[in-house]
Amino acid sequence: MRKPRTRELDPSHAADPERVRLAAVTLLARRDYASGELRQKLEGQGYEAGAVSAALADLVASKIVDDARFAENYVTSHAARGHGPVRIAADLRALNLPAELIDAALAAGPDWRARAREVRIRRFGLEEPVTWAQKARQGRFLQYRGFSSDHIRAALGADFDPDE
């Protein structure tokens, strides 16, 4: 198991926006970050809030950090993993993205009904559930993955009789 880095940050570096920008670009070289997530990461490393704000403003102005792009990429990658829009939206809200960006990214995402069906087939096979117990089990699975009740009904077939 890797030991976390606990090195102290030089106080003169903590207030330098250029040092903060360099640290941010180093983090962004590994993966894309939302601006709020990057802010938390940098402040957690010991950089001053003012310097972080200045560096982030520069990165946003130069389109190196773009929350809309981040949200679209996040939706695409997590939908491919089998996650639904409810779960993805909750994850993006936890990253402090604005609701407008989340809604736009989800609207530009895949056909969620078809995606729910694909996830169900990948997990349970082509044969549709026939008993109430099978439908309930598959519905709970899809709900856990983050699909809404409309998407689940579309994936399971809306023409079932709960009295079976």
pTM of this prediction exceeds 0.75: yes
Angle at 99 between CA 96 and CA 100, to 5 degrees: 130
Q: CA dist 71 to 37, 67, 89, 102, 139, Å? A: 12, 6, 9, 6, 27
pLDDT at 2: 58
Q: Is the pLDDT of residue 18 over 90?
A: no
Q: Is the pLDDT of residue 79 over 90?
A: yes
Amino acid at 64: I
Domains belonging to the chain, first-starting first, are 12-61 (1.10.10), 67-107 (1.10.10), 112-156 (1.10.10.10)
